A and B are shown apart, each in its own frame.
Chain A
């Protein structure tokens, strides 16, 4: 068998193998099933509304919030700093662009628990292990952060920190979502600048 024949035979065999592969440009889960199962059953796959509020209130930009609701719902209001990827478009867009965005963690949320938990399972199946779901979604965010009020006579230091973070996140949420769309991004940038100044960082 001369080299030309060998090469032809190799190419034909590989062509046949390619023909056997299902025709789809869509991504498939590439992590081991047992590993994905273990990860999605870990309680730490979810973050609470309070943990999210703390991140939002801190002005930290090392995390990315991803709103899975429809475009109309997102336009009405959203958690400050969020990007909108409606759940039914989650696999249409390149997950790499959404989830490998240079941020240390991605937090997915919707109105409730269903869409964010579908999406977090997809993300873990595609090996984006820095992705989490916000437990209870915006319904829980409103119950915990937006509508919370301290009732009692004495407040502990821990409770004080908790209510302070809730208050700051609530203030930011209301301020940003009361602005016209054109000013929202400018306002977020302004807040980050203020946070940098407070930290003593350079502009």
Chain B
């Protein structure tokens, strides 16, 4: 009799603990679940926006078409707009992903699982820059903007100050 009672007591022990700590669990568990989802969600943004933006600060994520050969490893070319698709038909690993579908699970998985540099290409360098930033914030690294306008951020005109005529001030 005493053995059976002791076994029953042992079996109820986890329930007793659960009841004892129910308030703690009710507070801590949802928080823990939310953090876990945020950290490991493949399509979600990762913590620390600055960390994922670093290559954009020093320009190491920009590569000209002629310099793509210098990148080590198997390259995956992601073409963002249909008009430019035909230009790269000779490339072995080439995918056409419309920008609106770039965060779809299968596309993120393709980029995540690819071993080697991922090259984004669009005729509009502004579009490539925006898509690069959003993909990088999901934690995908080794991603580059392939551009035919590597000098896009270089000022191409000349400003001549007018020192002859002075401006009028309103008092």
Q: Which residues of A contact B (CB under 8 A)?
A: 1, 6, 9-10, 13-14, 16-17, 20-22, 24, 26-30, 33-34, 36-38, 40-41, 45-46, 73, 76-77, 87-88, 91-92, 110-118, 120-122, 125-126, 133, 135, 137-139, 142-143, 146-147, 174-179, 186-187, 190-191, 193-194, 197
A178–B163 contact, CB under 8 A?
yes
Rounded to whole angstroms, the CA-CA distance of A20 and B32 in the bound complex is: 9
Chain A residue with minimal CB distance to B132? Answer: A118
Contacts of A40 in B (CB 8 A): 130-131, 134
Chain B CB within 10 A, most for which of A16, A117, A135, A186: A117
B162–A175 contact, CB under 8 A?
yes
Rounded to whole angstroms, the CA-CA distance of A28 and B23 in the bound complex is: 30
**Can you list 28 A-B contacts (CB < 8 A)?**
A1-B20, A1-B21, A14-B27, A17-B31, A22-B39, A24-B50, A28-B47, A28-B48, A33-B43, A33-B45, A40-B130, A77-B159, A87-B57, A111-B153, A111-B154, A112-B125, A114-B125, A114-B129, A114-B145, A118-B56, A126-B49, A138-B157, A139-B157, A142-B157, A142-B159, A143-B157, A146-B157, A190-B169
In the complex, B58 has a CB within 8 A of chain A: yes
Among B7-15, B95-103, B110-118, the stretch in contact with A: B95-103
Contacts of B48 in A (CB 8 A): 22, 24, 26-28
Interface readout for B129-171 with A: 1 if CB under 8 Å, 0 if not?
A: 1111110011000000100010011111101011100010111
A-B contact count (CB 8 A): 170
Chain B CB within 10 A, most for which of A28, A126, A186: A28
Rounded to whole angstroms, the CA-CA distance of A143 and B31 in the bound complex is: 54
Contacts of B21 in A (CB 8 A): 1, 9
A112–B57 contact, CB under 8 A?
no
Contacts of A146 in B (CB 8 A): 157, 159
Contacts of A191 in B (CB 8 A): 170
Rounded to whole angstroms, the CA-CA distance of A6 and B32 in the bound complex is: 18
In the complex, B24 has a CB within 8 A of chain A: yes
A122–B49 contact, CB under 8 A?
yes
Rounded to whole angstroms, the CA-CA distance of A77 and B28 in the bound complex is: 55
Rounded to whole angstroms, the CA-CA distance of A175 and B160 in the bound complex is: 11
A91 interface neighbour in B44, B46, B53, Cβ under 8 Å: B53
Please count how many residues in chain B sit with their CB below 8 Å of the partner chain's CB atoms: 56
Chain A residue with minimal CB distance to B29? Answer: A13
Contacts of B162 in A (CB 8 A): 174-175, 178
Chain B residue with minimal CB distance to A31? Answer: B45
Min distance, Cβ A46 to any Cβ of chain B, angstroms? 7
Chain B residue with minimal CB distance to A1? Answer: B20
B35–A20 contact, CB under 8 A?
yes
B169 interface neighbour in A6, A174, A177, A187, Cβ under 8 Å: A187
Nearest first, the 4 closest Cβ-Cβ pairs linking A and B are A13-B28, A112-B152, A113-B126, A117-B129
In the complex, B93 has a CB within 8 A of chain A: no
Rounded to whole angstroms, the CA-CA distance of A92 and B129 in the bound complex is: 20
A37–B103 contact, CB under 8 A?
yes
B134–A33 contact, CB under 8 A?
yes
With A139-B156, A139-B157, A177-B161 known to touch, is A17 a contact of B49 (CB < 8 Å)? no
